[in-house]
Amino acid sequence: MAEASTTVDSRPESDTGLKRSITGRQLFFYTLGDVLGSGIYVLIGLVAAAVGGAFWIAFAVGVTIAAITGTAYAELVTKYPRAAGAALYVNKAFGSKVLTFLVTVSFLSASFAAAGSLASGFTTYFAEIWPGPPALLVSLVFVAVLTVVNFIGITESVVINMLMAFVEILGLVIVMVIGAWYVAEGSADFGVLGDFSAEGNPTIAILAGVALSFFAMTGFENTANVAEETVDPHRSFPRSLIGGMVVAGVIYVLVSIAAALTVDTDSLVESEVPLLEVVKSGVLPISDDFMATLFAVIAMVAITNTTLVAVVTQPRILYGMANEDVVPGVFARIHATRRSPWVGLLFSAVVVAALLVIGTALTSSGSKLDLVGRLAAVTVLFLLFIYALVIVSALKLRGQDEDERAFRANTALLVLGLVGNLAILAWTVYDDPTSLLWCAGLVAVGVVLFVVEHFFGRSDRPEGTGRGDPSLAVD
């Protein structure tokens, strides 16, 4: 296998295989839509249980740590504007195939787990509208439809993502309007915003809340994986990535404050759909039934949006790392007319479907497994590990492959972000050590790809073709 490249990709744009068609504005909404995903719609109750009425602080701290991590991604994207994201950066920094593989399979596992969790969550809201079809069937059809959208093309996927981002933002705006209306009526008790009713030290309570809420903060890392399909990535990425995260952070904090002021903490904790409790609070002079149905539809759109980004990301990680000789070269193949990495797309859909089938089977057998919660926890563990490595890679690669176009993140903030990610990671493992078993199981599946590439990697690349060669990539 070839050694890891340590130079900036100098291939002509037409030879990369993937088409540069994503504008800076589309990238901003791509980031915003993914970060403002389904997590905020379902996690507020869990965070409130860990912290108390002051749970908005946990969201503020979590978004801050995530945004700092985003600056590391922005720096590395402007130096290496190619698909594969974190795995590529770690490969550049350490030149270790084993470590690069571990990051690749960790990111893929996180994305697969997130997609499975979101697909299961989608069925819950779908049942509120149409309770007839079996949940497993709904989730499998859901994944299949998003796979087809992705196959059609990246531009179509990003445009759909941008449109759905407006819808999910509308849902959060409704919550903020309800909060503002409630405050204007003079009924709000602002003292609840400083209430740490959870047992134990407030600092530990906030850390626990951040760990629970971090699933809602993730998603920005997916943006880096479309770098090879972005117009002028050196200019677009820092503004779009960081800007999208800042806007998302402000919305999260405002929504948290609105929920805390409008509905008592116990009601948020006990509800499976806490934001729906805010909508049904009767503050607005609109039918509660109508608002509940509208909000269920909006939540389904939010889940669809987040899952679509995951489905877009998975095959592009495989595509990029196939070009780095980390996974079998078949994943570098793209469709001749749609220009989509179709092999990786089909593989990803099969893996997510398998997770859904296995989870449903375990639940049907009498297990008390909470598939949505478990897969969300596994996603966070994988991503925190990756985030820490990305920050270390950004610091290690300082002074390499840089030109006047490269963005540079603040060093002190990067160190602070590294400490924050490691602290949340440590707490998550301490609080739920069994989640490591699930992580190990997903990594074990990925070992098969690494072994295949290690022993057969040279033979799966036609003679005379190199990394990124169109003759290798196009079917």
Quick: pLDDT tens for 138-182: 999 999 998 888 787 666 666 776 787 788 888 899 999 999 999
Per-residue pLDDT, averaged over 116-129, amounts to 83
Query: In terms of pLDDT, which residue wins out, 307 or 229?
Result: 307
Task: Please give the Cα distance from 325 to 350 (Å, whole number).
Answer: 23
pLDDT in tens, 291-320: 888 888 888 888 887 788 788 778 877 887
The predicted pLDDT at position 21 comes to 67
Which pLDDT band holds residue 38 (cuts at 50, 70, 90)? low
| Range 454-471 average pLDDT | 51
Residue 367 CB neighbours (<10 A): 11
Count of CA atoms in the C-beta half-sphere (13 A) of 447: 7
Distances (CA, A) of 184 to 187, 261, 286: 8, 12, 17
- What domain range includes position 381? 17-473
pLDDT of residue 458: 56
Whether 12 maps to a domain, the answer reads no
The identity of residue 316, as a single letter, is R
* pLDDT value of position 27: 83
Tell me the pLDDT of the chain averaged across its residues. 81
Number of neighbours of residue 424 by Cβ within 10 angstroms: 27
In a domain, 11, yes or no: no
The residue-averaged pLDDT of 52-80 equals: 92
| Residue 226: HSE in the Cβ half-sphere, 13 Å Cα cutoff | 33
390-428 pLDDT, tens digit each: 999 999 999 888 877 789 999 999 999 999 999 999 998
For the chain, how many structural domains are there in total? 1
Least confident of 300-314, 318-332, 452-466: 452-466
User: Residue 101: what pLDDT?
Assistant: 80
| CA atoms of 214 and 197, how far apart (whole Å) | 21
Residue 14 has pLDDT above 50, yes or no: no
What pLDDT is recorded for position 15?
A: 46
Whether residue 394 is contained in a domain is answered as yes
Burial of 183 (0-12, 13-18, 19+ CB in 10 A): middle
CB 428 within 8 A of CB 370: no
Q: Is the pLDDT of residue 4 over 80?
A: no
| Angstrom distance (rounded) from CA 49 to CA 213 | 11
CA 59 to chain centre: 16
Which tokens in the block code for residue 98?
């084993």
User: What is the pLDDT, as a whole number, of residue 153?
Assistant: 65
- Residue pLDDT, tens place only, 234-285: 788 888 888 988 998 899 999 999 999 999 988 888 887 788 888 888 888 8
**Terminal CA-CA length for the chain:** 23
Highest mean pLDDT among 82-91, 195-204, 254-263: 254-263
Q: What is the CA radius of gyration of the chain?
A: 22
Q: Is residue 3 part of a domain?
A: no
Select the highest-mean-pLDDT range: 33-47, 354-368, 420-434. 420-434
Output the domain CATH number for residue 58. Answer: 1.20.1740.10
What pLDDT does residue 121 have? 78
Q: Say which amino acid occupies 208.
A: A
User: Would the pLDDT of 131 be above 70?
Assistant: yes
Task: Examine the pLDDT at 224 and tell me if it is beyond 90.
Answer: no
Query: Looking at residue 425, what is its pLDDT?
Result: 93
What is the pLDDT at residue 399?
Answer: 84
Hey, is 443 helix, strand or coil?
helix
For residues 61 and 152, which has the higher predicted lDDT (pLDDT)?
61
Euclidean distance between CA atoms 45 and 339, whole angstroms: 42
Assess if residue 274 is contained within a domain.
yes
Residue 315: closest CA among 338, 297, 298: 338
Query: Which amino acid, residue 264?
Result: D
Q: Which two tokens stand for residue 258?
A: 């609105």
What the block records as the tokens of 133 is: 């079809």
Q: What pLDDT is recorded for position 204?
A: 87
Residue 230 is classified by DSSP as B
Q: 3-class SS at 199?
A: coil
d(CA 261, CA 192): 7
Considering the domain boundaries, does residue 4 fall inside one? Answer: no
What pairs with residue 474 in β-bridges?
334
Give the pLDDT mean for 21-34.
78
CA–CA gap between residue 56 and residue 254 (Å, rounded): 8
pLDDT at residue 16, rounded to an integer: 45
Higher pLDDT, 205 or 456: 205
Could you tell me which residues are beta bridge partners of residue 334? 474
Beta carbons within 8 Å of 403's beta carbon, 6+ residues apart: 8
Q: Is residue 331 part of a domain?
A: yes
User: In the structure encoding, which two tokens stand for residue 59, read together?
Assistant: 């969201």
Exposure string of 295-308, with b = 16+ CB inside 10 Å and e = fewer, is: bbbbbbbbbbbbbb
Structure tokens at 186: 């003079």
Measured CA to CA in angstroms, residue 12 lies from 15, 87, 287, 372, 467 at distances of 5, 22, 58, 43, 13
Q: Establish if 6 belongs to a structural domain.
A: no
What confidence category does residue 17 fall into, taking pLDDT thresholds of 50, 70 and 90? Answer: low
Structure tokens at 261: 């002021």
